[in-house]
Amino acid sequence: MNLRILSADDVRRALPMDQAVEAMKHAFAQLSGGRAEVPIRLPIDVKAHNGVTLFMPAYLADDDQMAIKIVSVYSDNPAQGLPLIHALVVVIDASTGIPRAAMDGTYLTALRTGAVSGAATDLLARPEIRTAAIFGAGAQGRTQLEAVCAVRPIEQAWVFDPDLERSLAYASEMGARLSLRVNVAASPAEAVQNADVVCTATTSAAPVFDDANLQPGVHINAVGAYTPHMQEIPVETVVRAKVVVDHLESSMAEAGDLIIPIQQGRFNQDRIYAELGDIAAGRKPGRETANEITLFKSVGVAVQDVAAAGRVLATADRLDLGVNVSL
């Protein structure tokens, strides 16, 4: 049995952002259409080390693709000079059950998380948007801006992170990479007051901006809060927005941005407008008016990893990327 081993650089070379965005639309259309097998991810808390490791398998029927991701989020890592997130994706041949590849999942996670926000922005944001605000100056924040720029002609962006040095590094790197002006916001208010699209990619337990500072017609991608106790989006914003989720069952189990307003009696599941896949497949319209606030809430679903990894492996096979190992 041969196993292809792919590094983060291999993954980056094999799957550009624009292709990843289209892969996410296709994957979520399958998910919402009942053509995917996605167990709720299994978390193992490692409280002694302030971490959690998640096991995320899925199968896409239309593509006949299967994979599992093992992803760890250890909150003390950055203080030790280590990435917050580490991940590995194993692709399995759906017809035989034979493992086909093992690839870096840390960059792939950032890529597919950015890509689904790109898909949501394409389906829900106003066509004429030109400005973006990013909360969180880490790896996830980088692919959020890259994805938004892949689907809209963004001319200027703001980044806000409590760590000023991280924000400055982000602004310099992303401005050069995407050829646009990236400003370091002095406050959350400065960031959102100027933004047509807002992306939150933090590990916050409290809202990262005030609802009153949002522009009319803004689109929001909320991807950072992935447990019932985490929260990036103000309750007031959730209550007045058109809310779209990646996966209803997962959101009701994990999305603190929605669970907390429900617990407060200010929101309920029936007010969720749609899953993203329903809009991607044309079963429901996306944005319907210029002034409505649209909110895409994502907790991350394993179909994203399967779709991204499947495309990475196909390109890697064609270009002979990585290293083949006999087991």
Q: Residue 261: is its pLDDT beyond 90?
A: yes
Above 90 in pLDDT, residue 85?
Answer: no
Q: Is 265 exposed, middle or buried (0-12, 13-18, 19+ CB in 10 A)?
A: exposed
Rounded mean pLDDT, 2-11? 97
Q: How far apart are CA 172 and CA 176, in angstroms?
A: 6
pLDDT at res. 169 = 97
Asked whether residue 151 carries a pLDDT value surpassing 90, the answer given is: yes
Tokens read off for 90: 């194993």
Rounded CA gap, 255 and 260, in Å? 8
Q: Above pLDDT 90, what percent of the chain?
A: 92
Does residue 158 sit in helix, strand or coil? strand
Q: What is the pLDDT of residue 227?
A: 87
Reduced to 3 DSSP states, what percent helix, strand and coil does the chain have, rounded to the nearest 5?
Answer: 40, 25, 35
* pTM, entire model: 0.92
pLDDT of residue 41: 83
Other C-beta atoms lying within 10 Å of the C-beta of residue 187: 12
Average pLDDT over residues 39-51: 92
Query: Is pLDDT of 1 > 90?
Result: no
pLDDT tens digit sequence for 292-314: 999 999 999 999 999 999 999 99
Confidence band (pLDDT; 50, 70, 90) for 84? confident
pLDDT value of position 225? 86
Helices marked H in the chain — which ranges? 8-14, 17-32, 106-124, 139-151, 164-178, 188-193, 235-240, 248-254, 256-263, 276-280, 302-319
pLDDT band per the 50, 70, 90 thresholds, residue 9: very high
* Residue 80: per-residue pLDDT: 93
Whether 103 shows a pLDDT value over 90: the answer reads yes
What whole-number distance in Å separates Cα of residue 134 and Cα of residue 325? 40
Q: How many residues does the chain have?
A: 327
Question: Domains in the chain, please, with CATH?
Answer: 2-108+303-326 (3.30.1780.10), 116-300 (3.40.50.720)
* pLDDT value, residue 154: 97
**320 φψ region: left (φ > 0), alpha (ψ -120 to 50), beta (else):** left
Burial class (CB in 10 A: 0-12, 13-18, 19+), 18: middle
Mean pLDDT along residues 258-276: 97
Q: Where residue 4 falls among pLDDT bands split at 50, 70, 90?
A: very high
pLDDT tens for 222-248 read 999 888 999 999 999 999 999 999 999
Q: What is the pLDDT of residues 156-172, one digit of tens each?
A: 999 999 999 999 999 99
